Structure 1
Amino acid sequence: MSESIFSSLTGDEELNFSEETEVFVFPTSFAQQRLWFLDQLASGNPFYNVSTALCLKGSLNFTALKQTFNEIVRRHETLRTTFVMVQQPVQAIAPSLSIPLPLIDIRDFDQESETEVRRIATAEAQHPFNLTTGPLLRVKLLQVDEAEYVLLLNLHHIVADGWSIGVLIRELGVLYKAFVEDNRCPMSTLLPELPIQYADFAQWQREWLQAVGANGCSPLQTQLAYWQKQLDGISVLNLPTDRVRPAVPTYRGAKQFLELPHSLTQALETLSYQEDVTLFMTMLAAFQTLLYRYTQQEDIVVGSAIANRNRSELEGLIGFFVNSLVLRSDLSGNPTFQELLNRVREVTLGAYSHQDLPFEKLVEELHPERDLSRHPLFQVVFSLQNTPIEALELPGLKLSLFDFDNKIAKLDLEFHLWRDLETLKGEVVYSTDLFDQSTITRMLGHFQILLESIVVNPKQCISDLALLTEKERQQLLIDWNDTKKSYPDNKCFHQLFEAQVKQTPDATALVFGNQQITYKELNIRSNQLAHYLQKIGVETETLVGICVERTPEMIIGLLGILKAGGAYLPLDPSYPQERLDFMLEDAQVSVLLTQEKLLDNFTEFSNPIICIDRDWTTITQYSSENPNSYVTLENLAYIIYTSGSTGQPKGILIEHRGLSNLAADQIEVFNLQPSNRILQFASLSFDASIFEIVMALQIGATLYLANKEWLLPGKALLQLLREKAITHITLPPALLAVLPIESLPALQTIICAGESCSEDIIKRWWSPSRKFFNAYGLTEATVWSTVAEIKSVSAKPPIGRPIANTEIYILDKHLQPVPIGISGELYIAGDGLARGYLNRPELTGKKFIPNPFNGKKGARLYKTGDLARYRTDGNIEFLERVDNQVKIRGFRIELSEIETVINQHNNVEKAIVIAQGNLYDRKHLVAYIVSKSPQEQTIIELRQFLKEKLPEYMITKSFCNSGFSAVNG
């Protein structure tokens, strides 16, 4: 070691060394200290092994090669270093060390020799080092043929970095030649003695950072101030993964290689020159654009290694000098790529001018939230080596790199590029905890497409740059949306029912308790009601309110309204008076159909009211023949009110076309038969009810109705399913999660819908003897839009593919289709789309937008607010909401509607409502409030207040005051 290191580097006072002993002890560098602590956390791990393999062809002098490595070890103290604990970790440098060079002969493997080389190379790369005992360099020679060898070099990162491998190989060339030729010249004439050693640098680094300059600040303070400002509010990159991130990573990895065409490489270099940036800056901006398109995040953070050898004395050293820079770019405002390049240039130059602060010290000072599953500050890295790799020749030997996969990944994703003689090449190292091989292959394809788009037009906004191949666009936009099918004779649902009546007039249509009604009887009663409704003015587009308890009269009323040509608006008798009044007024209901005992709910309603029970004698005087109504598929069928974000519920207008499409596809998907027995579970106020009604009555099956008490998730429901031999049920996951499991041999088909279905639900209810479907849909698209038949118990169930005459698009916020595996917002198009929202033209225009993928006039997309992604097989996976809408027990709830109502209370200053729990512990609503008066009294008032304004399913179960102490309901 040189005792004048600080003179050569800083001009400050010289370092005083202790007297020579068997082992020299010196402080670690900051980087070494961090790796030592990481090794303590996961002792014996290979995560920080630096591995290289060289193919040697020709006549090899084994003795000279062994002498070469021992001379390199003599020259570089870091290769004789181990690490011990003396109050803190320190470097222990042995005065001498002999490195063994085992030779393994694998010539007998013949054609499989390369496979064996890769196996051994991988095993060596994964073999851990012991930092305490060393040595931290391993060399192994494999003989593949008479004149072909593979040299395996393995070092622990704590004593070497990527630059060090280059130093080692250069010295290998010089020294091997000298030993082969028996050159007796002093080694110092071939390779000058090193002016300093790594231990000198480590101690200088610590002292230099603390030294106070003329401005009264130390380099540590100056650089730290920059980075604290630069990284304030840094965000985590939510890169889409194929699997859930494990709590503790395994560090298992894989790699893939890429090579850009010569023409593209030249075009990128030309663009860099024209924009006055380095090629690294251009490639970094492109990589961050790729991450932006994958995540839709505008704050993109990438790690990048820098050699950190900005002093000549350090260039020829083997050691751990490399530093990690945190490159944080702002991609907000959808800039052009040209504009982004300027931002990246500024960020990169700023980082370069503050590169001396060790990354380890930065992490220590910033105190990022501790998370063992993620690397601190960044999860992906990007690098570019601009210097072309030179071919190295030794006496009688030709050297080349032997590529192999060490199957280790320290981070989520690493992009490493280098400038070869003709092109840009690179490798991508990725965590197999998170990503599949096919995902990375697609990513590399997207990166190249993106680069090609950039060089063609760098003035394009980054959202518009091409990302997908033509084949991918064809698959995502066209092939997977090829769902066109015709309806049977273009009939409305009630006409399909009438056709079924002709085929099976005596079949049982409805069962309610001990009461049974045939198809013929049901048709006659609904016809009589329809004629009566027409007599009092009901025609196409006339809105008829229906408030009837769950009895056969509910089905008769619904069919009668549709047959008359009108559209029905369900009014749940359990709704608060204020909500019923609002719906009647907002929808301008022309006629109300109800029961005599429910009349008290409608004392303020001034239009005609029909009591289906009280007035039935009069109704039966009308014709029993099918009425003429002139209804077409474009006419309104029903309006369903759902929770609204503005504080008021909103009505959704559904046309007959959607119902007819639903009816046709149900038969095919569920293989419906007249022998089926279908449970009518959902309230008429939810569109799942029409799903069940249509399923039964279009095919000649039997629809089973029951009082609300029989439909609660427990013994009563199980008894109903068992005694009535129900074959088809449509239930929300929340109910399936708590419903006791019974064999139910008659149950053929379970349709899970209304909210996200979990793997546990599948495990509870899937059976080889029955079919299990996971359906997805929204009221705005006629009940359902996609469906998946679950054929095995495996990972999270998908929501499947689009149903007939339905298209699904998964798009980013700029309406660009996202690749397979990447999350985006789900948009629905096709025949099931609603007409829009009643009396809400602005909301309709915001949610039902022109379809950019369909040139047909008036084609629309519905913006669902749901995040989803395509799987490789074309199935769609539901992820989450983009807003604060939730589903509880299948009910769709806008939390802001509840908050609006709570905030109307005189004693409430502010309220926030959240959903807590899961399917198994009864997901429920909790309100956090700041009250103006004593908390207990306010909550008593609030409970009554909410009951007067909101349906039962929207009332919060518990309230918490500003101190977050819960008061249960």
Structure 2
Amino acid sequence: FDARHYRLDLRRAPMLQLVYAQDEAQARWVAILLFHHMALDHTALEVVQQEMQAHLMGEAGQLVDPVPYRNYVAQARLGTSEAEHEAFFRQMLGGIDEPTLAFGLAQVQGDGRGIEEVTVAVDEALSLGLRSQARRLGVSAASLIHLAWGRVMALASGQENVVFGTVLLGRMQGGDGADRALGMFINTLPICVSVGEQSVRDAVKMTHARLTAMLAHEHASLALAQRCSSVASSTPLFSALLNYRHSSIEVTDALLSAWNGMQMLSSEERTNYPLTMNVDDLGDGFSLTALVEARIGAQRICDYMHVALRSLFDALEHAPRQPVQSLAVLPPTERRQLLDTWNASPQTYAHDTLIHGQFEACAVAQPDAVAVVFESRTLTYGELNARANRLAHRLLSLGIRPDERVAICVERGLDMIVGLLGILKAGAGYVPLDPAYPLERLAFMIEDSA
């Protein structure tokens, strides 16, 4: 049968179903286990498998009593208050006014269709090296994984302070027996990771401190957390997830005997987010599973993560003071494509003519041709050249000399292009500044005398 024809209806119970049918062509029975995270998560699935194994081995009588979900609900409600949750997330997210939308993916209400899935193993030497570095720094391996994913998100979104969803176990504060209970435990909450100019070592420590602090808030509402940022409520705060989880792969003779005659054909999990990275902690090694829209490429995301982990390990091993924003993410093949393949051109350009000189030649050859378009405004080569000349003369009259630096603080648009050309024509170099940056001193005030 086609598993795609079977979907859970979230409007009615149960959230756990086993659908089976006879495959006469291959003389076998096939089944599909459908479940929603409201009833079963990664930990609970292992519990169910262990109970099934006990029944198959005739040991059902040795199973312990089930743990009521109501115990967890009571423990969660008696824990951290909503006001404390809000204070924590406002401190972390209050300064975030732009969403982190990797690759421009903004649809966070998807149904899991059109998603590509790829799983790769992190090589053994790198896995052991990452664990060694984590022990040396007194942090968890999860902290290194979160920082590496933050670096990937920075590359994919063009930001330094990135926000992504991290999946919390939900059982840390769940009370006795929570590790054996079934129900809705896991929770997705936003975490902000800074991958700017701070050192790699400091970034690891900061990420670990933030993750540790979040454990006290693992029962907070995602809606509450997102409201604590400065991003408009109509815009998603993030569109990518990181799910770091511990997985057991121990296979014993008893286990093989219990499941004799049965085999796993395939498994599939989906979220409503367009980009998910599952990291399975296998005890010694790690496994990466990327789920992303097919046009982005799941293998590509796995490659990014693997390179980021390798770069992070190398930096901690040899240069822990280097800026975390310098960590490599692109694999060699994609780097060559970007720098060499796509830049290859049979065209020959003059090496002894300055940029503004080449522009002036274009202005003479085609003064009425459109040179710049910004929204509904345009400038021809002749108009742009004239305005840049006026600005250059203005700078020279203010005392600008060759090779001096001129700060330019302007929003993207036509005026920015005029400013850059004018500064170059005056023989100076430009230093771009963010218009929102608090300037205590301006060496020169640049005015377009137009």
TM range (shorter): 0.7 to 0.9
Greater strand proportion: 1
Q: Output the amino acid matched with 2:246.
A: N
> Which of 43, 46, 61 in structure 2 is aligned with 1:166?
46
Unaligned runs of 5+ in 2: 423-447
- Aligned-pair RMSD on alpha carbons? 4.4
Aligned to 2:213: 350
Alignment of 1:240-279 (within 5 A): 240-241=102-103, 245=106, 249=110, 252-254=113-115, 255-279=117-141
User: What SS is found at the alignment partner of 2:180?
Assistant: coil
Are residue 121 (structure 1) and residue 3 (structure 2) matched?
yes
Give the match's secondary structure for 2:279: strand
- 2:109 and 2:272 in contact (8 A); partners too: no
Q: Which residue of structure 1 aligns with residue 194 of structure 2?
A: 330
**Cα distance in structure 2, aligned partners of 1:291 and 1:123:** 34
Tell me, what secondary structure is at the counterpart of 1:481?
coil
Task: Give 2:19's aligned residue.
Answer: 140
Q: 2: CA distance between counterparts of 1:400 and 1:443?
A: 29
In 2, the alpha carbon distance for the partners of 1:486 and 1:201 equals: 70
**Is 1:192 aligned to 2:50, yes or no?**
no
Letter in 2 for 1:436: R
Q: Find the counterpart in structure 1 of residue 342 from structure 2.
A: 480
- Are the counterparts in 2 of residues 173 and 393 from structure 1 also a CA contact under 8 Å? no
SS in 1 for 2:301: helix
Deviation at 1:365, TM superposition (A): 8.0
Alignment of 1:414-433 (within 5 A): 414-420=276-282, 423-430=285-292, 432=293
1:298 maps to 160
Question: Is 1:449 matched with 2:311?
Answer: no
**Shift in alpha-carbon separation, 1:121–1:425, aligned structure 2, 3 A:** farther
Contact in 1 for aligned 2:56/2:259 (Cα 8 Å): no
Q: 1:443 to 1:307 in 2, by over 3 A?
A: closer
Structure number, greater radius of gyration: 1
Q: 1:294 to 1:635 in 2, by over 3 A?
A: closer
Contact 1:381/1:413 (8 A) holds in 2? yes
1:886 aligns with one of 397, 401, 413: 413
CA contact (8 A) 1:388 1:418 kept: no
SS of the residue corresponding to residue 201 of structure 2 reads: helix
* Separation in structure 2 between the aligned mates of residue 367 and residue 653 of structure 1, nearest angstrom: 41
Question: Residues 653 and 457 from structure 1, CA distance in 2 versus in 1: closer, same or farther, beyond 3 angstroms?
Answer: closer
Q: Are 1:837 and 1:843, in contact at CA under 8 Å, matched by a contact in 2?
A: no
Report the TM-score, using the length of structure 1 for normalisation: 0.37
Deviations 1:914-945 (A, max 9, x none): xxxxxxxxxxxxxxxxxxxxxxxxxxxxxxxx
With 469-478 and 343-352 compared, the bigger mean Cα shift is at: 469-478
Provide the rounded CA distance (Å) in 2 between the counterparts of 1:278 and 1:777.
58
AA at the equivalent of 1:252: R
Given residue 691 of structure 1, which amino acid in structure 2 is its aligned partner?
A: Q
Contact 1:885 1:893 in 2 (8 A): no
Q: How many residues get paired?
A: 404
Instruction: Work out which of the residue numbers 366, 372, 383 in structure 2 matches 1:691.
Output: 366
Q: How has the CA–CA distance of structure 1 residues 412 and 454 changed in structure 2, closer, same or farther, with 3 Å as cutoff? A: same
Separation in 1, partners of 2:380, 2:309? 38
Counterpart Cα distance in 1 of 2:9 and 2:69: 20
Q: Deviations over 1:612-664 (max 9, x none)?
A: xxxxxxxxxxxxxxxxxxxxx9699xxxxxxxxxxxxxxx95259x74xx6xx
The 3-state SS of whatever aligns with 1:308 is coil
Counterparts of 1:847 and 1:777, CA distance in 2 = 25
Given that residues 149 and 308 in structure 2 are in contact (C-alpha distance below 8 angstroms), is that contact kept between their aligned partners in structure 1? Answer: no
What percentage of aligned pairs have identical amino acids?
15
**1:518-917 to 2 correspondence within 5 Å?**
653-654=356-357, 659=361, 687=363, 690-691=365-366, 730=369, 754-755=372-373, 883-887=410-414
The residue number in structure 1 matching 2:430 is none
Shift of 1:367: 10
Residues 785-821 of structure 1: per-residue CA shift (max 9 Å, x gap): xxxxxxxxxxxxxxxxxxxxxxxxxxxxxxxxxxxxx
Instruction: Give the 3-state SS of the residue equivalent to 1:457 in structure 2.
Output: helix
Per-residue CA distance 1:827-863 (angstroms, 9 max, x = gap)? xxxxxxx9x9565667966599xxxxxxxxxxxxxxx
Partner of 1:385: 245
Contact 1:409 1:429 (8 Å CA) reproduced: no
Deviation at 1:465, TM superposition (A): 2.3
CA 1:395/1:404 → structure 2, altered by over 3 Å: closer, same or farther?
closer
SS of 1:754's partner is strand
Q: SS of 2:325's equivalent? A: coil
Aligned in 2, Cα 1:369/1:252: closer, same or farther, shift over 3 Å? farther
Conserved 8 A contact 1:634-1:655 = no
In the other structure, the counterpart of 2:11 is 131
How far the C-alpha of 1:277 sits from its partner, in A, is: 1.4
By how many angstroms is 1:777 displaced? Answer: 11
Q: Which has the higher helix share?
A: 2
Larger RCO, structures 1/2 (Cα 8 Å, 6+ apart) = 2
Q: Deviations over 1:700-748 (max 9, x none)?
A: xxxxxxxxxxxxxxxxxxxxxxxxxxxxxx5x5xxxxxxxxxxxxxxxx
The aligned residue for residue 331 of structure 2 is 469
- Structure 1 residue 399: deviation in Å? 5.5
Q: Distance in 1 between matches of 2:230 and 2:68?
A: 31
Q: Deviations over 1:898-923 (max 9, x none)?
A: xxxxxxxxxxxxxxxxxxxxxxxxxx
CA distance, structure 2, for counterparts of residue 437 and residue 249 of structure 1: 16
Q: Secondary structure at the match of 1:312?
A: coil
- Offset at residue 418 of structure 1 (A): 0.6
Structure 1: how far apart are the matches of 2:86 and 2:33? 36
Letter in 2 for 1:443: I
Aligned counterparts of 1:246 and 1:396: Cα–Cα separation in 2: 41
Shift of 1:425: 1.0
CA displacement at 1:282 relative to structure 2: 0.9
Secondary structure of the corresponding residue to residue 280 of structure 2: strand
Aligned mates of 1:366, 1:463 — CA distance in 2: 23
CA contact (8 A) 1:235 1:299 kept: no
Measured against aligned partners, the alpha-carbon deviations of 1:137-171 in whole angstroms (never above 9, x if no partner) come to 22123555767654311123333323222222111
Name which of 144, 151, 157 aligns with 1:289: 151
For residues 264-323 of structure 1, what are the alpha-carbon distances to aligned partners after superposition, in whole Å with 9 as ceiling and x for unaligned?
212211221222211111111111122223334222223222222232222221100112
Determine helix, strand or coil for the equivalent of 1:172. Answer: helix
Task: Letter of the 1:425 partner, please give it.
Answer: S
CA apart distance, 1:757: 8.9
In the other structure, the counterpart of 1:436 is 295
- Once residues 107 and 44 of structure 2 are traced to their aligned partners in structure 1, the CA distance between those partners, rounded to angstroms, is 33
Q: 1:219–1:756: structure 2 CA closer, same or farther, 3 Å change rule?
A: closer
Q: SS of the counterpart of 1:288?
A: helix
What is the distance in 2 between the residues matched to 1:363 and 1:634? 54
- Cα distance in 2 for partners of 1:343, 1:233 equals 17
